[in-house]
Amino acid sequence: MPDNGRSPAGAATVTLTIDDREVTVPKGTSLLEAAALQGTALPHYCYHPGLSAPAQCRICLVEVEGAPKLQPSCVTMAQDGQVVKTDSPEALKMRKGVLEFYLVNHPLDCPICDMSGECKLQDYVFAEGREHGRGREPKRVFGRDDFGGDVLYYGDRCVMCTRCVRFMDEVARDSRLTVVERGSRAVIDTFFDEGLEGASFAGNVVDICPVGALVSKDFLHKARAWDLDSTPSVCPGCSQGCNIELHTRDNLVQRLKPRENAEVNGHWMCDFGRANYEGLNRGGRLEAPAAGRGAKRRPAGWDEALGQLFARLQAAAGADVKIVGSAEWSCEGLAALAAVGAETGEVSARVFRSRCAADEDRLPGFPALARRRDLAPNVDGARTLGFSRVGGEDAAGGLEEVAAHDGVLFVLGDDLADQEAAFGEAASLFVYMGAHGSEAAANADFVLPVTTFAEQEGTFVNVQQRVQRFWPGLRAPGEARPAWLVLGALLAALRGGEAAPASAAAAFSWLAGERAAFAGLSYEGLGAEGAPLAAPAGGNGAA
Amino acid sequence: MAISVKVMKRPEAGRTSYMRATLKGMSLTFKHLVRPQAATLEYPEEQPDLHPRWRGTHRMEVHADGRPKCVACGLCPTVCPANCIRLVGGEDDQGVRYPIVYEIDEFRCIFCGMCQEVCPVEAIHVGHHFENAEYERDRFVYDLDRLMDQDHSTTLLWDPSDRRSE
Ligand code: SF4
Ligand code: SF4
Ligand code: SF4
Ligand code: SF4
pLDDT in tens, chain A (543 residues): 344 444 445 569 999 999 999 999 999 999 999 999 999 999 999 999 999 999 999 999 999 999 999 999 999 999 999 999 999 999 999 999 999 999 999 999 999 999 999 999 999 999 999 988 898 899 999 999 999 999 999 999 999 999 999 999 999 999 999 999 998 899 999 998 889 999 999 999 999 999 999 999 999 999 999 999 999 999 999 999 999 999 999 999 999 999 999 999 999 999 999 999 999 999 999 999 999 998 899 999 999 999 999 999 999 989 999 999 999 999 999 999 999 999 999 999 999 999 999 999 999 999 999 999 999 999 999 999 999 999 999 999 999 999 999 999 999 999 999 999 999 999 999 999 999 999 999 999 999 999 999 999 999 999 999 999 999 999 999 999 999 999 999 999 999 878 899 999 999 999 999 999 999 999 999 999 999 997 554 444 333
Look at residue A538 in the predicted model and tell me its pLDDT.
Answer: 45
B71 Cα to the center of ligand 4, angstroms: 6
Distance CA A84, CA A361 (A): 44
What distance, in Å, lies between the first and last C-alpha atoms of chain A?
53
What number of CA atoms fall less than 13 Å from residue A469's CA on the CB side?
20
CB contact under 8 A, A221 and B74: no
Determine which of A152, A221, A226 to mutate to test the interface with B (most B C-beta atoms within 10 Å). A221
Look at residue A4 in the predicted model and tell me its pLDDT.
Answer: 44
Q: Pick the residue whose CA is nearest to atom 6 on ligand 3.
A: B115
Distance CA B75, CA B120 (A): 8
pLDDT exceeds cutoff 90 at B162: no
Q: What is the pLDDT of residues B90-145, one digit of tens each?
A: 999 888 999 999 999 999 999 999 999 999 999 999 999 999 999 999 999 999 99
The residues lining ligand 4, judged by C-beta closer than 6 Å to any ligand atom, are A 111; B 70-76, 87, 118-119, 121, 123-124
Burial of residue B146 (number of CB atoms within 10 Å: 0-12, 13-18, 19+)? middle
Q: Which fold has domain A290-457+475-502?
A: Rossmann fold (3.40.50)
Alpha-carbon dihedral angle through residues A71, A77, A83, A89, given to the nearest 10 degrees? 30
Q: Pick the residue whose CA is nearest to atom 4 on ligand 4.
A: B73
CB contact under 8 A, B73 and A110: yes
Task: Note the ipTM here.
Answer: 0.82
Ranges of each domain in chain B: 58-149
CATH class of A105-123+133-227: alpha beta
Q: Pick the residue whose CA is nearest to atom 4 on ligand 2.
A: A242
Q: Do A121 and A102 touch, CB atoms closer than 8 A?
A: yes
Min CA distance, A112 vs chain B (Å)? 6
Ranges of each domain in chain A: 13-87, 105-123+133-227, 290-457+475-502
Which residues are B91's β-sheet partners? B97
Nearest atom, ligand 3, residue B76 CA: 7
DSSP secondary structure letter of residue A203: T
CB contact under 8 A, A221 and B72: yes
pLDDT exceeds cutoff 90 at B159: no
Look at residue B165 in the predicted model and tell me its pLDDT.
Answer: 64
Distance CA B110, CA A496 (A): 59
DSSP string, A405-471: --SEEEEES---TTS-TTTTTT-SEEEEEESB--GGGTT-SEEEEB--GGGS-EEEE-TTSEEEEE-
The CATH architecture annotation of domain B58-149 reads 2-Layer Sandwich (3.30)
CB contact under 8 A, B95 and A144: yes
Model-level pTM? 0.88
B73 Cα to the center of ligand 4, angstroms: 5
* pLDDT greater at residue A198 or residue B160: A198
Look at residue B32 in the predicted model and tell me its pLDDT.
Answer: 84
Distance CA B139, CA A227 (A): 28
The CATH architecture annotation of domain A13-87 reads Roll (3.10)
**Crossing angle (nearest 10°) for helices A120-128 and A89-105:** 130
3-state secondary structure string, A48-95? CCCCCCCCCCCCCEEEECCCCCCEECCCCECCCCCEEECCCHHHHHHH
Look at residue B161 in the predicted model and tell me its pLDDT.
Answer: 78
Ligand 2 contacts CB of residue A273 (under 6 A) = yes
